[in-house]
Amino acid sequence: MSDSDSFIDEVSEEVRRDRLFGLMRRYGWIAILAVVVLVAGAGWREYSAAQDRAQAQAFGDAILAALELEAPEARADALREITPPAPESGVLLDMLIAAEEANAGQAEAAADRLQAAATTAEAPQIYRDIAAFKALVQGTDSLPVEERRIGFEALATAGNPLRLLAEEQLALIAVETGDTEAALTQLQAILADSEVTAGLRRRASQLIVALGGSLDAA
């Protein structure tokens, strides 16, 4: 390589270096700002996660403390004083309060609370479905049969995790209304379902036998 070529390369390198430094002086603040934003974002996410964990722990501790009280009325009162950190937590809390209200003989108040929880639009659908299911079960003595049947039929749709439990309740409603044949058909369908659990299979089998049906048909 000639001296002139070497000189040209050195000059070109210096020009590129000068341009790079110029760009860094002009736009370097953008890179610095981006780093600051990334660091701040990571710090905020960690702080938010820590806050969420602290709230969840405080919520759980408050529930455990309330459930350690002796009387159901006292447990219900203590649970009502707890502030849930999220809508789904509120639905779970309402279910616990309703259970204690039911234990205290306040069945109607428990059913009303569960029905209200089932309409919490901000909560996930599964939480609302569980609350609706519990409300219908809790309302066995207060809700009309047809209203309970419609409610359980809505939960017995394909894909609903509570489907088979709702079908079991529909069979019990059939027994309640004296329609033994419909109850047996419902129970046998439950036994034939591939998703039936061991506990539900046992209950359905026992009820089929109690109604005079045959397990062979299932």
Q: Where is pLDDT greater, at 6 or 173? A: 173
- Give Cα 131 to chain centroid, integer Å: 11
pTM of the model: 0.70
Residue 141 burial (CB count, 10 A) = 8
pLDDT band at residue 7, thresholds of 50, 70 and 90? very low
Residue 177 burial (CB count, 10 A) = 13
| Tokens 């059939």 sit on residue | 174
DSSP type of residue 83: P
pLDDT in tens, 52-111: 677 778 888 888 998 899 899 999 999 999 888 888 888 889 999 999 998 888 888 898
With CA atoms as reference, report the closest residue to 154 among 188, 106, 118, 202.
Answer: 118
Q: For 43-46, which contacts have Cβ atoms below 8 Å and span 24 or more sequence positions?
A: none
pLDDT at 18 over 70: no
How far, in Å, are 37, 75, 95, 101, 139 from residue 106 at the CA level?
A: 54, 13, 14, 5, 11
pLDDT in tens, 25-53: 665 556 566 666 677 677 667 766 676 67
- pLDDT recorded at residue 4: 52
Residue 112 burial (CB count, 10 A) = 17
